[in-house]
Structure 1
Amino acid sequence: MQRTIKWGLIAGIAMLSVSCSNFLDERSTTRLDESQVYEDVNLVETSLKGVYAKWKFIRTDEQGLIMMMGTDEIQQGAFQMKSDPQKGGLDRFDGNLNSTLNHVANQWNIRWPMINEAAKIIKGLGAGTLTPASREAKLVGEASFIRGFLDFQMAMYWGEIPIIDLDRSAELGFRRQPLKDVWAFIIADLQRATLYCPETNDPGRATAGAAWMMLGKAYMSAPVETGLRDFSKAASCFEKMMGEYTLVPYKDLWDYTRPNTREAVLEFQFSPVYPNNNRLQFQIGSRAVQAYFGDGCYYAGYDKVVPTKYAYSSVDSGGIWEKGDLRRYESIRYDFTYYGVTPTLDPIKWEDLGDDFDELLPHIKKYEDFRTDKHAEEKINNMWNSGKNIPVLRLADARLCYAECLNEMGRTGDAVTVVNEVRARAWGGTLPEDKKWVASSQDAFRTAILDERMRELFAEDWRRIDLIRTGKFVEYVKARNEWTKRAGNIKDFHTLFPIPDTEMKLNDDITPADQNPGY
């Protein structure tokens, strides 16, 4: 009982640490009385909907960008680095990246109430024998998917984490558990999700296809030392779901008039109307554009994050983009001309950034929402209301993961064929001969696929995980992130984040002695 109360307290404090006041005003699903929830499946459904709402909230506003910072794909804008040295530690990897950094603590804290609530649903409805396709089974499947997905992220970002299994709470407590146990738990959750998640579901909710895809990702991402990394099993998972989805023209993925395309495995649902807007454009747009044209220009913003030079440059300039790749101009904005007028830096030269002004260098484009523009018929007139859906899982990602697995299984030729199928879409459906991948060594494929994943999945929140699971995080970030390169601080231990100081103070089972090495 004390442990349950303690975890409830930790979850409650976690909720209080979230920056958005609207999230604070919501009634926490962790406070529902368990006996009441499990007496009525309708209340379980309500509880699960609350978990989904809070889960998609992770991807909104500045907090939706934190895990993209400090990679070889995305870095913080120059003015942000100058004006917020603490958060700058996420790219400089200096002493500001420590256990007291609120931005890291928030990422830890916002996930635990959802994991805890999913655990209650699984225990409450999964105690007896579940009938496949029953409403109870569906809810258990979705809760298992959510817990598995969030634990997957937590384990990738922090390594050893607590396991929230209410059937074993007395045994496990709230200690960090061995990696092998953590990943076995994640895999078991996602396996259960493949059994009970429905084949189809309301937009924004988990399906069997999403469960199979995440199970595949878990098998290929589990640390080698756990003994659970298995590319053959991962490939089998992707094979079970890919046939249910179809690649669509790349531009359709970012067209707000075409949400939840046939390629979407899971999308978070948003709209340009508060409180269901995601507010991303406010963070990723250009402050030079804002100063010149005002909030009513749909690609204005405040440069919280920008692409690295490697991520926006062409191959002949040391970057990733090949001539003719349609994904480039759907992903990244290079031209800031607005109704015939090209902005300058004049209104913001007071920032005094020397040669570091990046407000008119390339910016993230994928999440721009014209409905917020002052010329749009919606008359919203403020980029803060941006509300495009955000892709979480989609077919092209699954196919590229599948290709990686084939390469690791010694089937590099088959892997090349799969990659070319994805690349064909990037050239309008017909891949030029000189752009087709040809058979290469297994190691050369490993290098090339990471560039291809950046082209396909730029700014979709997978890059940090891709670099960690492939062991390339420190090498690539040090070479390609401008602020990391200048600072020269990044070390191997920075692959994981520090356990927040607040967690060590509130949780008797995690002490400073349990901190990740190096912090």
Structure 2
Amino acid sequence: MQKIMKKFILKVFIVSAFIGLASCKKLLQQDSLTKLDESAVYSDVNLVQTSLKGIYANWLNCRVDEQGTVLMMGTDETQQGAFQMKTDASKGGLDRYDGNLNSLQGQITTQWNLRWPLVNEAAKIINGLDKPGLVPGSKAAGVVGEASFIRGFIDFELAMYWGSIPIRDLSRENTLGLKRQPLKDVWAFIISDLIKASTLCPQTNAPGRATSGAALAMLGKAYMSAPESTGLRDFDKARNCFEQMMGRYTLVPYQNLFDYTKPNTVEAILEFQYSPVSPNNNKVQFQIGSRAVQNTFGDGCYFSGYDKIVPTIHAYETVANGGVWEDGDLRRDQSIRYDFSYYGVTPTYDIISWEGLGANHDELNPHIKKYEDFRTDSHSGLGYNNMYNSGKDMPVLRLGDIKLCYAECLNELGKTGDAVAVVNEVRTRAWGGTLPADRAWTAMSQDDFRTKIMDERIRELFAENWRKIDLIRTGKFVDLVKKYNKWAAQSGTIQAFNSLLPIPDSEMKLNDQITPNDQNPGYK
């Protein structure tokens, strides 16, 4: 049993019974922790606002520490470090796509269990407040809008990674139960939530909270990503969503996006809020930093770490060497660390030679840089002195991403010339405001654009948790992972069914409405 949410205390009683269990069924059917009638709680907008704040606080856990890296593993962009692959066969399955990727895999179970409590609590809020006569612009409408955004966003993730999922609409609970629903119904529900959020969310909000702009951005992504089999994929509707919201945001210099002194820039649509002070730190540096650096300089070096996840060669090399990076692209050195020297000393592999990795040593190969937090360095003078305290904000939605999504829609609608012009806007920022003529995209076919945009999205969004979704929605998951992920290439076992994750064994044991017969094809 894993505690997911803090108890919400308001006046003299606890508002929410929000304990995350291994089972969706047990989680969703638990009794209240208090004698207070739940229907009374969730129909009171003042009480519900406390619950909503709790959902936001616990949503951050999806990006914290190791669990924040799991869904970035196994792509053509990032993979686990060599030492991790050697020492943990179970986690290794997340990159090898071998028999260790199964319903018993603990990290996959954690990802599943992190999200369902948030969906369930949002569903309670919506069920309690979304009644006839709800007035747009009212306090209650805003809360319903934000809860709908959260449920829509997280259901979007769950559907992308697991396919058919339960629909948590409490007004239809007797009909729907807790079983997996048809894919078309799932995506229609996601779209409905995001439409409602785009109507009811405020246009401006506190940092880290949903706005109508964020809802429109996610609604556009949903229209782009809904499986073609559902009949709901609609690039024109996605285009319209993006056009409604893009003008509210502005591209900023790329380096500003990852500068902890400049949080929540005018480019940020939604940004998860962290700090280097526990318990609000994200701890992600421990997972992305270098083990050789840590063994040489200690925890007080801000780019120390454990090599849990590192860039693939494709994601850190130049075009000339088979990678994605072009000369002069400023995003490269903002996204990836190539130099590990520290106050005049350069680490070597000698200090970790005991690992026995031979040619597979990658602790001093390029690493993820975006989330390094100098405030944690012993030389910062701030007293944190441990990279584990890393606490930079993390972008969830930002304009650079949405412009590239918009360009994809234009291309799919036969407006490739317009799509190229939009991509060049993003690339102009990448070259500091002046795009050299030989770096500007020019006329190309629709198919060429589809190929080139995938590398452009690595350059713009490296390690921002969108890559696996991009690969799945474009149908390029198997081909590109097999080609560029070192461990998947060596194993040679990745198959089409691996584009979805297995339903956790614990869910099937505790939820009698999801049985082994409901498992995603290819898994046991």
TM-score per shorter chain, which class?
Answer: over 0.9
Cα deviation digits, residues 279-338 of structure 1 (max 9, x gap):
000110001000000000000000000000000000000000000000000000000000
Match of 2:516 in 1: 512
Rounded Cα–Cα distance in structure 1 between residues aligned with 2:280 and 2:301: 20
The 3-state SS of whatever aligns with 2:271 is: strand
Does the aligned pair in 2 maintain the 1:473–1:495 contact within 8 Å? yes
Which residue of 241, 251, 265 corresponds with 1:237? Answer: 241
Does the aligned pair in 2 maintain the 1:29–1:51 contact within 8 Å? no
Query: Against the structure 1 CA distance between its residues 517 and 30, is the aligned structure 2 distance closer, same or farther, given a 3 Å change threshold?
Result: farther
The 3-state SS of whatever aligns with 1:267 is: strand
Does the aligned pair in 1 maintain the 2:20–2:113 contact within 8 Å? no
Match of 2:444 in 1: 440
- 1:115-130 equivalences under 5 Å are 115-130=119-134
Query: Against the structure 1 CA distance between its residues 379 and 103, is the aligned structure 2 distance closer, same or farther, given a 3 Å change threshold?
Result: same
- Whether 2:360 is the aligned partner of 1:356: answer yes
Match of 1:303 in 2: 307
Which residue of 256, 278, 285 corresponds with 2:282? Answer: 278
Cα deviation digits, residues 401-433 of structure 1 (max 9, x gap):
000000000000000000000000000001000
Rounded Cα–Cα distance in structure 1 between residues aligned with 2:31 and 2:273: 20
- TM-score, normalised relative to structure 1: 0.95
- 1:282-361 equivalences under 5 Å are 282-361=286-365
Rounded Cα–Cα distance in structure 1 between residues aligned with 2:467 and 2:208: 22
Match of 1:212 in 2: 216
Match of 1:371 in 2: 375
Rounded Cα–Cα distance in structure 1 between residues aligned with 2:18 and 2:269: 33
The 3-state SS of whatever aligns with 1:265 is: strand
Q: Which amino acid aligns with 1:480?
A: Y
Deviation at 1:388, TM superposition (A): 0.1
User: Please, which runs of 5 or more residues in structure 1 have no aligned partner?
Assistant: 1-7, 17-27
Deviation at 1:37, TM superposition (A): 2.0
Query: Against the structure 1 CA distance between its residues 30 and 357, is the aligned structure 2 distance closer, same or farther, given a 3 Å change threshold?
Result: farther
Runs of 4+ more than 6 Å apart = 8-11
Does the aligned pair in 2 maintain the 1:297–1:373 contact within 8 Å? yes
Deviation at 1:11, TM superposition (A): 6.3
Cα deviation digits, residues 440-470 of structure 1 (max 9, x gap):
0000000000100000000000000000000
The 3-state SS of whatever aligns with 2:358 is: coil
Rounded Cα–Cα distance in structure 2 between residues aligned with 1:504 and 1:368: 39
Q: Calculate the aligned-residue CA RMSD, in Å.
A: 1.6
User: Please, which runs of 5 or more residues in structure 2 have no aligned partner?
Assistant: 1-15, 25-29
Rounded Cα–Cα distance in structure 2 between residues aligned with 1:449 and 1:408: 12
Rounded Cα–Cα distance in structure 1 between residues aligned with 2:503 and 2:73: 18
Rounded Cα–Cα distance in structure 2 between residues aligned with 1:190 and 1:35: 24
Query: Against the structure 1 CA distance between its residues 81 and 302, is the aligned structure 2 distance closer, same or farther, given a 3 Å change threshold?
Result: same
The 3-state SS of whatever aligns with 2:63 is: coil
Cα deviation digits, residues 343-392 of structure 1 (max 9, x gap):
11111110000100000000000000000000002121000000000000
Rounded Cα–Cα distance in structure 2 between residues aligned with 1:164 and 1:239: 30
Rounded Cα–Cα distance in structure 2 between residues aligned with 1:29 and 1:153: 27
Deviation at 1:12, TM superposition (A): 3.6
Does the aligned pair in 1 maintain the 2:164–2:183 contact within 8 Å? yes
Deviation at 1:105, TM superposition (A): 0.8
Q: Which amino acid aligns with 2:303?
A: Y
Deviation at 1:35, TM superposition (A): 2.7
Which residue of 164, 168, 184 corresponds with 1:164? Answer: 168
Residues matched between the structures, number: 501
Which residue of 47, 50, 59 corresponds with 2:54? Answer: 50
Q: Which amino acid aligns with 2:249?
A: Y
Query: Against the structure 1 CA distance between its residues 430 and 321, is the aligned structure 2 distance closer, same or farther, given a 3 Å change threshold?
Result: same
- Whether 2:70 is the aligned partner of 1:62: answer no
- Whether 2:498 is the aligned partner of 1:494: answer yes
- Whether 2:477 is the aligned partner of 1:477: answer no
Match of 1:421 in 2: 425
Deviation at 1:31, TM superposition (A): 5.4
Query: Matched residues, percent identical?
Result: 68
Deviation at 1:14, TM superposition (A): 3.2
Q: Which amino acid aligns with 1:14?
A: A
Which residue of 403, 406, 422 corresponds with 1:399? Answer: 403
Deviation at 1:75, TM superposition (A): 0.2
Does the aligned pair in 1 maintain the 2:272–2:396 contact within 8 Å? yes
Deviation at 1:437, TM superposition (A): 0.2
Q: Which amino acid aligns with 2:371?
A: Y
Match of 2:39 in 1: 35
Does the aligned pair in 1 maintain the 2:314–2:324 contact within 8 Å? yes
Which residue of 21, 25, 36 corresponds with 1:13? Answer: 21
